[in-house]
């Protein structure tokens, strides 16, 4: 708790939700305790590189961070205890994932830590280097190897000259305290001598660094087999550095290795919480590898159509398991124990930005700012739009209440928590969150750890009394969805009808379309006719927009007829209008069948009353036509037919 | 001889048992403190009524201690809150080296102070800012700040830094508690 945490609280309260009823995280009703906030923690990472584990077996859980370093320089492995860094050590390349896993079933059951970085997984026990696993090498491009072999000879004299500066850079692998994965270095040695024996280079064909660069670039352009890292690094060098580089690498046959893009853990043969687990690696080479927990041999290898970026697994390696890989081609592939190739494929219409598995459902965040949910067989369940791009995702599991939910960190500084489609909670953070992790930390079960874009660290603890309710959320299924529909039973008629529909679907559709067009045609004709004869109560001329509406009151024999005339133009008053009634004079008598209308101010409705006397006592009624005319024009502007009611007064008398 | 001899002796004259609740988060040092306070001849009964919730109890001639972890989720809460009614003094133990969980300790303290069986009683509260020997530990002043103890207006309270393993600081606290109970009794 630094005084800084107070600053955050103020900020958060100030940016409080305006929409009131939504589940938010303002001070008063927050479900979270603000345990720590350090905007200058200098942690730059993403969710895959965070792991929580009881690394010392003392019940105090630590946070493992594969830190990219500011601007991706100076990658480090950091272990945090409570709010502060316990240990940190530099990494040779950027980390891609971190995981804690149990290697063997014996006591003490303290988990090992695995950190994937470049082509290697560094395994630590008790925070001490224990093993370095390297991905098996790929066959190098023989042409490339040839070039390097020829370059070597010539650089012999330069080797000694440039050694001083080369040795600074050569720190690489040798200074690392890693027991390397045995056999392959010997193999490499052999490969090297065999090149020599075959005499593929001779002292005459020597290549100077510049030519080497040109030729390597040539190979890179053709790129049937990608260049080795060594060559790629060489191509980046300045002229002055080349000689030394060549000298330094003279004794190393080129190696081509792919890199690890994703890592997760899979239980070996028990479903227990603390069961021995295998590491599952995804590689740039479009493969998935499962490693033995103790020997770190490759137990199984599966290939994918694209490069995996997020992995989720369930089940146990020896029994049955599901592997889900969200890949760079925008697809999610699902593999099972017995399948060497994907069993199911989910096609997203955009790139995945996060993948979380809850029981048998998958939740994927996409670059279209959406959360999508699928079954483990690829059936789509739902989609929820997000208000901003999704930066990272992770699982929230509150064991004591059996809650599993998805957390999504958004670019607008919100961290949203969803159970299925229902929004449970929004946490507003002072800066956009780039990595999230929830679980037991220190001695507290429900701790939320977030790191921000600016390198800040936020730690919140879920209140012990907090319960996530769905009611507060705006999303969630509408109540109508819960109503049972009265679906008719499958009667004989229903079945016949369905069959007929299935067989004659096209014809039925055509018939329907035909009728629809006829209907539209008729309607259009009637409308045109009405317009031509101005038979409608709404004037269609643009110059004289008028609306007429009539009301008849009374029982008879005398009725009161009220006309409401309105000038619907925006500004222009209507002057010089006349109203005329046309009716059967043997049935009705009106005091004035024709009168002038006063000036109509736009927008107002003018009531005009007149009495109508019914002359017949036979209980018959007729229509009275109302025409609105303009002085000097014979065609009416608009007209209305008033259906007069039967005169009851007379009938009753 | 336990530290409580004087306290229990004094109270013993009144032939009345005083119930003391010893509370705090798990791992704060309650058991260690109580074991230091316990006279060697005290009878201990450990009871485990429910999974996930355990209470330690012991009695001297005039004092009854009930100790429990304020951990876990809501559903065990009503079990321990059941003991609030009979408590006549509270010892609240804080791990001063657990900076992250200081907010949790504060939250638990606030819930305790607002409980109907505690809220309106002038019940003395003794805070032990325990584990002061550890490097990460914050001072007792800082602890009382972090827990906003200055807001407790209607109950006598006192905070002592302590090292339960060596037994340092415990006597000071117990002396204070003794004065308070005596003040109430007379
Ligand atoms: N360094 C140190 N450790 C302590 C102190 N008090 C308790 N501990 C240790 O903290 C751990 C938890 O103590 P315990 O009494 O079981 O805590 P409880 O869960 O509150 O009963 C034990 O390992 C104790 O040895 C102290 O003052 N200083
Ligand atoms: Mg205990």
Q: Is A619 left (phi over 0), alpha (psi -120 to 50) or beta?
A: left
Distance CA A572, CA A556 (A): 39
Q: Given an 8 Å threshold on Cβ–Cβ distance, is B73 in contact with A464?
A: yes
Does residue A373 have a pLDDT over 90? yes
Res A278: pLDDT = 95
pLDDT at A347: 93
Question: Is the Cβ of B25 closer than 8 Å to some Cβ of chain A?
Answer: yes
Domain ranges of chain A: 139-146+205-256, 538-643
Average pLDDT over residues A576-586: 89
Over residues A419-436, the pLDDT tens digits come to 989 999 999 999 999 999
d(CA A212, CA A247): 13
- Average pLDDT, integer, range A143-162: 60
- Which residue intervals of A115-272 are DSSP H helices? 142-154, 156-161, 163-169, 184-198, 209-222, 229-236, 239-248
Q: List Cα–Cα distances, B25 to A176, A339, B28, in angstroms.
A: 42, 49, 6
Higher pLDDT, A17 or A54: A54
Say whether pLDDT at A125 is over 70.
yes
Burial environment of residue A275 by CB neighbours within 10 A (0 to 12, 13 to 18, 19 or more): middle
Q: Is B151 annotated as a binding residue?
A: no
Residues of B in contact with A401 (CB under 8 A): 73
pLDDT of residue A646: 85
Closest chain A residue to B28 measured between Cα atoms? A443
pLDDT, tens only, B17-47: 778 888 888 889 988 888 888 766 654 555 4
Choice between B1 and A334, residue whose per-residue pLDDT is larger? A334
Task: Find chain B residues with C-beta within 8 A of A33's C-beta.
Answer: 103-104, 106-107
- The answer to the question of residue B151 being in a domain is yes
A2 inside 8 A of chain B by CB: no
Whether the link from the prior residue into A557 is cis, omega within 30° of 0, is yes
Q: What percent of chain A has pLDDT over 70?
A: 82
Rounded alpha-carbon distances, angstroms, from residue A494 to A490, A497, A498: 6, 5, 6
Give yes or no for a contact between A380 and A423, defined as CB atoms under 8 angstroms apart: no
Q: At A479, is the pLDDT very low, low, confident or very high (cuts 50, 70, 90)?
A: low
Average of per-residue pLDDT across A583-598: 88
| A462 interfaces chain B, CB cutoff of 8 Å | no
Backbone angles phi, psi at B161, to 5 degrees: -75, 140
Question: Which CATH number, 3.30.200.20, 3.30.750.24, 2.60.40.1510, 3.30.2130.10, labels domain A538-643?
Answer: 2.60.40.1510
Calculate how far, in angstroms, residue B131's C-alpha sits from the geometric centre of ligand 1: 7
C-alpha–C-alpha distance, residues A334 and A314, integer Å:
11
Q: Lowest mean pLDDT: which of A459-463, A524-528, B45-49? A: B45-49
Residue from B108, B106, B161, B84 nearest B130 by CA: B161
pLDDT over threshold 90, residue A513:
yes
Taking the CA of residue B70 and the nearest CA in chain A, the distance in Å comes to 10
- pLDDT-derived band at A24 (thresholds 50, 70, 90) equals very low
Helix (H, G, I), strand (E, B) or coil at A226: coil
At A633 the pLDDT is 81
Phi, psi of A71 (to 5 degrees): 60, 20
What value does the mean pLDDT take over residues A137-165? 63
Q: What backbone torsions phi and psi does residue A354 show, to the nearest 5 degrees?
A: -175, 150
Check if A444 contacts B (Cβ < 8 Å). yes
Residue A515, pLDDT above cutoff 60: yes
Query: Residue A6: its pLDDT value, please?
Result: 35
More confident residue, A469 or A69: A69
Q: What is the three-class DSSP state of B53?
A: strand
CA-based nearest residue in chain B for residue A459: B100
Specify the pLDDT at position B42: 56
Q: What is the pLDDT of residue A376?
A: 87
Specify the length of chain B in residues: 186
Average pLDDT of chain A to the nearest whole number: 82
pLDDT digits (tens, 9 = 90+) for A635-649: 888 888 888 888 876
B121-to-A584, B18, B87, B88 alpha-carbon distances in Å: 95, 15, 10, 9
- Residue B7 located in a structural domain: no
Instruction: Determine, for residues A33 and B104 on separate chains, whether the beta-carbon distance falls below 8 Å.
Output: yes
CA dist B98 and B96 (Å) reads 6
Does residue A399 contact residue A351 with C-beta atoms inside 8 Å? Answer: no
| Residues comprising chain A, all counted | 653
Residue B149 belongs to a domain with what CATH number? Answer: 3.40.50.300
Task: Note the pLDDT of residue A485.
Answer: 79
Is pLDDT at A345 greater than 90 in this prediction? yes
B26 annotated among ligand-binding-site residues: yes
Would the pLDDT of A348 be above 50?
yes
**Residues of chain A numbered 34-93 and touching chain B (CB < 8 Å):** 34-36, 59, 82-83
Q: Which atom of ligand 1 is nearest to the CA of B130?
A: 27
In the prediction, which pLDDT does B8 show? Answer: 61
* pLDDT under 50: residue ranges of chain B: 1, 13-15, 43, 47-52
Shortest Cα distance from B63 to chain A (angstroms)?
A: 31
CB of B134 within 8 Å of a chain A CB? The answer is no
Could you tell me which chain A residue has the CA closest to the CA of B102?
A: A35
pLDDT digit string (tens) for A189-203?
A: 344 344 444 444 444
What confidence score (pLDDT) does residue A83 get? Answer: 93
**The total number of structural domains that make up chain B:** 1
CA triple A258-A263-A264, angle to 5 deg: 155
Enumerate helices (H) and strands (E) in chain B, giving the number of each: 7, 7
The reported pLDDT for the residue numbered A415 is: 95
pLDDT number for residue A634:
79
DSSP state of B163: B
pTM of the model: 0.68
Q: Which domain holds residue B34?
A: 15-63+71-185
Residue B8 lies in a domain: no
Of A392, A363, A358, residue with least CA distance to A380: A363
Residues in chain A within 8 Å Cβ distance of B79: none
Active site (annotated) includes residue B182: no
Report pLDDT for A413: 93
What is the mean pLDDT of the segment spanning A450-477?
Answer: 80
- The pLDDT confidence band at residue A470, using thresholds 50, 70 and 90, is low
Report residue A465's pLDDT band, with 50, 70 and 90 as the boundaries. confident
Residue pLDDT, tens place only, A217-250: 888 887 677 788 888 888 888 878 887 888 777 6
Q: What is the pLDDT at residue A186? A: 41
In a domain, B93, yes or no: yes
Average pLDDT of span A492-515: 91
According to the model, what pLDDT value does residue A164 have?
A: 38
Domain assignment present for residue B75? The answer is yes
Is residue B3 situated within a structural domain?
A: no
- Residue A223 pLDDT: 65
Average pLDDT for A555-566: 87
Q: How far is the CA of A397 from the centre of ligand 2 (A)?
A: 27
Inform me whether the pLDDT recorded for A172 exceeds 50: no
Q: Output the CA–CA distances (angstroms, integers) from residue A476 to A22, A411, A533, B79, in the order listed.
A: 12, 23, 54, 35
* φ/ψ (deg, to 5) at B96: -70, -10
């Amino acid at each position: 708790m630094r005084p800084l945490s107070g600053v955050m609280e103020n900020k958060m309260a100030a940016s409080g939700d305006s929409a009131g009823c939504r589940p938010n995280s303002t001070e008063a009703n927050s479900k979270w305790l603000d345990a720590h906030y350090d905007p200058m923690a200098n942690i730059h990472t993403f969710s895959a590189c965070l792991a929580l584990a009881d690394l010392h077996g003392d019940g105090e859980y630590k946070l493992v961070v594969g830190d990219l370093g500011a601007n991706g320089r100076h990658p480090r492995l950091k272990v945090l205890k409570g709010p502060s860094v316990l240990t940190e050590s530099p990494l040779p390349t950027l980390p891609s994932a971190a995981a804690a896993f149990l290697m063997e079933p014996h006591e003490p059951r303290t988990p090992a830590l695995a950190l994937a970085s470049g082509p290697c997984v560094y395994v630590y026990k008790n925070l001490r280097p224990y093993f370095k696993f390297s991905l098996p090498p790929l066959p190098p491009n023989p042409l490339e190897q040839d070039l390097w072999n020829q370059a070597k000879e010539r650089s012999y004299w330069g080797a000694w000259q440039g050694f001083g500066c080369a040795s600074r850079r050569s720190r690489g692998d040798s200074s690392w305290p890693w027991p390397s994965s045995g056999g392959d270095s010997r193999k490499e040695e052999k490969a090297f001598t065999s090149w020599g024996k075959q005499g593929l280079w001779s002292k005459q064909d020597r290549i100077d660094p510049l030519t080497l660069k040109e030729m390597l670039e040539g190979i890179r352009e053709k790129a049937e087999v990608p260049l080795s890292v060594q060559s790629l690094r060489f191509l980046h060098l300045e002229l002055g550095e080349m000689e030394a580089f060549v000298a330094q690498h003279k004794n190393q046959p080129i190696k081509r290795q792919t890199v690890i893009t994703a890592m997760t853990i899979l239980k070996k043969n028990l479903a227990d919480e603390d069961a021995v687990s295998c590491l599952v690696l995804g590689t740039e080479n479009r493969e998935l590898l499962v490693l033995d927990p103790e020997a770190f041999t490759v137990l199984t290898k599966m290939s994918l159509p694209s490069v995996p970026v997020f992995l989720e697994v369930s089940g146990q390696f020896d029994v049955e398991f599901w592997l889900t890989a969200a890949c760079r081609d925008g697809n999610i592939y699902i593999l099972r124990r017995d399948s060497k190739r994907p069993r199911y494929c989910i096609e997203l219409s955009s790139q995945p930005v996060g993948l979380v598995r809850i029981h048998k459902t998958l939740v994927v965040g996409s670059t279209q700012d959406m959360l999508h949910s699928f079954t483990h067989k690829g059936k789509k369940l739902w989609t929820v739009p997000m208000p901003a791009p999704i930066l990272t995702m992770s699982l929230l599991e509150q064991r004591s209440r059996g809650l599993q939910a998805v957390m999504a960190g958004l670019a607008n500084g919100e961290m949203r928590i969803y159970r299925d489609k229902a929004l449970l909670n929004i946490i507003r953070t002072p800066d956009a969150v780039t990595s999230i992790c929830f679980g037991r930390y220190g001695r507290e079960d429900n701790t939320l750890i977030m790191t921000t874009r600016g390198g800040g660290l936020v730690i919140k603890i879920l209140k012990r009394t907090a319960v996530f309710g769905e009611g507060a959320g705006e999303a969630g299924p509408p109540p109508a969805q819960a109503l049972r529909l009265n679906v008719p039973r499958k009667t004989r008629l229903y079945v016949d009808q369905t069959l007929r529909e299935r067989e004659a679907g096209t014809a039925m559709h055509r018939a329907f379309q035909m009728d629809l067009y006829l209907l539209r045609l008729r309607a259009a004709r009637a409308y045109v006719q009405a317009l031509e004869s101005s038979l409608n109560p709404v004037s269609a001329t643009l110059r004289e927009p008028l609306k007429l509406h009539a009301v008849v009151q009374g029982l008879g024999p005398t009725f009161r007829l009220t006309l409401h005339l309105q000038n619907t133009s925006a500004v222009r008053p209507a002057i010089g209008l006349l109203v005329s009634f046309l009716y059967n004079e043997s049935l009705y008598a009106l005091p004035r069948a024709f009168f002038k209308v006063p000036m109509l101010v736009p927008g107002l409705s003018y009531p005009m009353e007149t009495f109508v006397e019914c002359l017949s006592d036979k209980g018959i009624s007729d229509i009275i036509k109302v025409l609105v005319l303009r002085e000097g024009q014979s065609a009416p502007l608009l007209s209305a037919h008033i259906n007069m009611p039967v005169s009851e007064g007379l009938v009753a008398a | 001889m336990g530290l409580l001899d004087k306290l229990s002796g004094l109270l013993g004259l009144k032939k009345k048992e005083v119930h003391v609740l010893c509370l705090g988060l798990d791992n704060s040092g309650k058991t260690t403190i109580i074991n230091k306070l316990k006279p060697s001849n005290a009878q201990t009964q450990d009871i485990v009524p429910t999974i996930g919730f355990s209470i330690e109890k012991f009695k001297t001639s005039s004092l009854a201690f009930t100790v429990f972890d304020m951990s876990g989720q809501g559903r065990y809460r009503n079990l321990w809150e059941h003991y609030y009614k009979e408590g006549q003094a509270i010892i609240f133990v804080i791990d001063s080296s657990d900076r992250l969980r200081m907010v949790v300790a504060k939250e638990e303290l606030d819930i305790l102070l607002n409980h109907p069986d505690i809220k309106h009683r002038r019940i003395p509260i003794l805070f032990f800012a325990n584990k002061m020997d550890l490097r990460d530990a914050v001072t007792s002043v800082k602890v009382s700040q972090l827990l906003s103890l200055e807001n407790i207006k209607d109950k006598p309270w006192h905070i002592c830094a302590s090292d339960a393993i060596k037994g340092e600081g415990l006597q000071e606290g117990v002396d204070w508690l003794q004065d308070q109970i005596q003040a109430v009794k007379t």
